[in-house]
Amino acid sequence: MPHTTQQPKPMQTVKGIPVSPGIVIGRVFVLGEAETHVPHRDIEEHEIDIEVGRLEGALRDATADLVVLRDRTEQQLGREAAKIFGFHLGLLQDPSLVGPMRERIRKDRINAEVAVADAFRKVTEQFRAIGNEVFRQKANDVLDLDRRVLGKLMGENESRLSALDEPVIIVAHELTPSQTAGMDRRKILGIATDLGGRTSHTSIVARAIEIPCVVGCQRVMERADDGDTVIVDGDTGVVIVRPTERTLEEYRVQQERFSAYRKVLRETAPLEAVTKDGTRIQLLGNIEFPHEVESVLANGGDGVGLYRTEFLYLTNDHEPSEEEQYQAYRRTLELLAGRPCTIRTLDLGADKYTQQRAHEPERNPFLGLRSIRYCLQNRELFKTQLRAILRASTSGPVKIMFPLVSTLMELRQAKMILNDVCEELDEEGIPFDRAIQTGIMIEVPSAALMARAFADECSFFSIGTNDLIQYTLAVDRGNERVANLYTGASPAVLYLVKQVVRSGRRAGIDVSLCGEIAGEAIYTMLLIGLGMRTLSLVPSQIPLIKRVIRSVDIPHCEQLARRVGSFDSERQVLNTLRDELRKIDPDSFGGWMAE
């Protein structure tokens, strides 16, 4: 085996988007995705049999999956539809494809992933070169198969992760919300990814589980290797691969400052969220799982203002049953012990769940069959959830919130289905809260513009700025390339927020806000000035927002909101908000302010 002495690679600094605060230093664990990153490794002679064994294992597992898929498809859709899997199975058993894979491992001493990827690439190229539509289609099937086998090999990520004896920093091209939600905090110190935006659901989850995270680094995966030392600075968005000793020292000092600051903030948690002139602001937590209620309460929250129930789907390999959903809701309410809880009905679709399972992924999933639209088209799934929520409503004060409503018709349909479910429960003699309130999230411009009409037909609004920003500005919330255009400080977005608060007030219904800006200190005074008295936010930010609330008075906030309302650029808005925040408490708010 030729042996090359390699120069140590130099330090590399990458700038991304800070989405979950904190500074961590640790070793890189590259979480490769079959489609984006095939790890290349030269192997030693004694590893050859191990690699061939891995290859055989992956081929065997992929074959077993395909047999199950073929049989299930044949049962559900008939023999014709199942033929595609027959083709896949045939290829996997074809010696002219599999033989060269084994040979390359032995001859070229490379890992199984590379042998598989190269062999499939050759077949794909051959099919494409024939230039006929049928073969072009077949080339896509081959790619599919390639991903399946690579997935088996690289799916070992999980076992590699669990075999680690020290916690690591995950470096990946992209993580799905469910991958992030499934992370074990004892094993993962931090995260850095190539793709993503501040309010993509992966970022939201990282914040919720309090793992420092930087997304949108564009090419961090390419620069880091397994085992490299890396610094992830979730406050400034800097990721430093292979830092020098001096840089490490600087960051260790910063780490200490950050934990001292956290300690000070924790002292604010048990205090009341009341302004200097005596107005109480309700601070609720956004949660994805029942156990997060503990964090809401430990951080001094008053209840749950947004329960993202779809995460039960994202972390399960099957569709959760009514009973499983009921148990999750009941547990949440029991942990809340009489405090309020707003349960949002399933917000599936877009970046969550449905695309991975779809036969034909949507071309524009964020504008597609997501959220309430998905539920209205999948009534049984929707009814199952509504039954579970209603059954749980005897365990504590619950409100039901429908997401992404864009027309009145959708709200009416959702309420009709809810009525049907109530009647069914009545007939079955199952108790539930008959006075349960229903409201909607305002996260689409059409709903914001029609807020007056919506206010007549529901009990509350919760403004979801994460989506409202993306749909108002036509900026994908998860796309790092346009992240500079994505901001809650947009005068257009603020105008809509103001109109919604007005319409809600006029109709006498509650209006709150649960987008990520509710947890960003820079917006707190403005939101209070606009008339918001309830905010729902990531639990870890509650103490910081409380601290701001306790330092301001209502007339000052209202004056700021009027001033900001006259601006026509987001820069002006941001600069003013930042200056105001610094004025009220330069020491606390000088650093670590998300904007």
Q: Which of ligand PEP, Mg ion, none is residue 146 near (CB under 5 to 8 Å by kind)?
A: none
Integer Cα distance of 428 and 457 in angstroms? 28
Asked if 494 contacts 242 with a C-beta cutoff of 8 angstroms, the reply is no
Of 302 and 310, the one with the shorter C-beta distance to Mg ion is 310
- Closer to Mg ion at the Cβ: 29 or 311? 311
410 binds, options ligand PEP, Mg ion, none, Cβ within 5 to 8 A by partner type? none
Report what 515 binds from Mg ion, ligand PEP, none; CB cut-off 5-8 Å by kind: ligand PEP
**Sites of contact with Mg ion (CB under 5 A):** 443, 464, 467
Among Mg ion, ligand PEP, none, the one that 308 touches (CB under a kind-dependent 5 to 8 A) is: ligand PEP
Residue 233 contact among Mg ion, ligand PEP, none, beta carbon within 5 to 8 Å by kind: none
Q: For residue 303, what are the contacts with CB-CB under 8 A and spacing of at least 6?
A: 282, 284, 285, 296, 336, 339, 340, 341
Q: Where are the alpha helices (DSSP H) in 304-358?
A: 311-314, 322-336, 354-357
Residues 502 and 449 sit within 8 Å (Cβ to Cβ): no
Tokens describing residue 83: 């033929």
As given in the structure block, the two tokens for residue 8 are: 């140590």
Nearer to ligand PEP, 406 or 466 (CB): 466
For the record, the structure tokens of 19 come out as 């989405």
Q: What's the sign of the alpha-carbon dihedral 206, 210, 215, 220?
A: negative
Q: Among 163, 171, 52, which Cα is nearest to 113's?
A: 52
Q: Which is nearer to Mg ion, 199 or 551 (CB)?
A: 199
**Minimum separation from the CB atom of position 443 to ligand PEP (A):** 5
Closest approach, Cβ 205 to ligand PEP, in A, equals 10
Strands 510-513 and 460-463: parallel
* Shortest spacing between CB 193 and ligand PEP, in angstroms: 18
> How far, CA to CA in Å, does 436 sit from each of 304, 329, 393, 418, 422?
16, 15, 8, 11, 10
Q: Are 205 and 486 in contact (CB under 8 A)?
A: no
Cα-Cα-Cα-Cα dihedral sign, residues 435, 441, 446, 450? positive
Residue with tokens 């859709």: 77
In the bound state with ligand PEP, the residue whose beta carbon lies nearer, of 28 and 483, is: 483
Residues that bind ligand PEP (CB under 6 A): 204, 306, 308, 347, 443, 464-467, 514-515
Closest separation between CB of residue 518 and ligand PEP, Å? 9
Catalytic position from the list 173, 201, 458, 556:
201
From residue 273, how far is each of 208, 281, 333, 551, 589 by CA, in Å? Answer: 21, 6, 22, 10, 17
**Taking the complex as a whole, how short is the minimal distance between the CB of residue 199 and ligand PEP, in angstroms?**
6
With CB under 5 to 8 Å by kind, the binding choice for 302 among ligand PEP, Mg ion, none is: none
Q: Which two three-digit tokens encode residue 506?
A: 């006029």
Residue nearest to ligand PEP (CB): 464
**Sheet of 12-15, strands arranged across:** 12-15, 238-241, 229-233, 23-31, 168-172, 188-193, 213-215, 17-20
Q: Of 228 and 347, which CB lies nearer to ligand PEP in the complex structure?
A: 347
Q: Label each residue of 26-46 as H, E or C.
A: EEEEEECCCCCCCCCCECCHH
213 is catalytic: no
Structure tokens at 423: 């009647």
Structure tokens belonging to residue 502 = 């007005």
Among residues 88, 514, 556, 557, the one annotated as catalytic is: 514
Query: Residue 71: how many CA atoms within 13 Å on its side-chain side?
Result: 5
Q: Which is nearer to ligand PEP, 464 or 531 (CB)?
A: 464
- The encoded tokens of residue 485 equal 């255009």
Select the residue whose beta carbon is closest to Mg ion and give its number.
Answer: 467
Whether 514 sits among the annotated catalytic residues: the reply is: yes
**Nearer residue to ligand PEP within complex by CB, 514 or 526:** 514
The count of other CB atoms within 10 Å of the CB of residue 422 is 18
Q: What is the closest distance, in whole angstroms, from the C-beta atom of residue 290 to ligand PEP in the complex?
A: 17
Going 313 to 315 to 317 to 318, the CA torsion angle's sign is: negative
> In the bound complex, what is the minimum distance in angstroms from residue 92's beta carbon to ligand PEP?
39
Nearest distance from C-beta of residue 169 to ligand PEP, angstroms: 25
Residue 514, binding choice from Mg ion, ligand PEP, none, Cβ under 5 to 8 Å by partner class: ligand PEP
Q: Please state the closest distance from residue 404 (CB atom) to ligand PEP, in A.
A: 8
Residue 124 or 345 with smaller CB distance to ligand PEP: 345
Q: How far is the CB of 274 from ligand PEP (least distance, A)?
A: 25
Q: Which residue has the tokens 């049984």?
A: 380
Strands 341-344 and 534-537, sheet pairing: unpaired
Q: Which is nearer to Mg ion, 488 or 529 (CB)?
A: 488
Active site positions, annotated: 201, 514
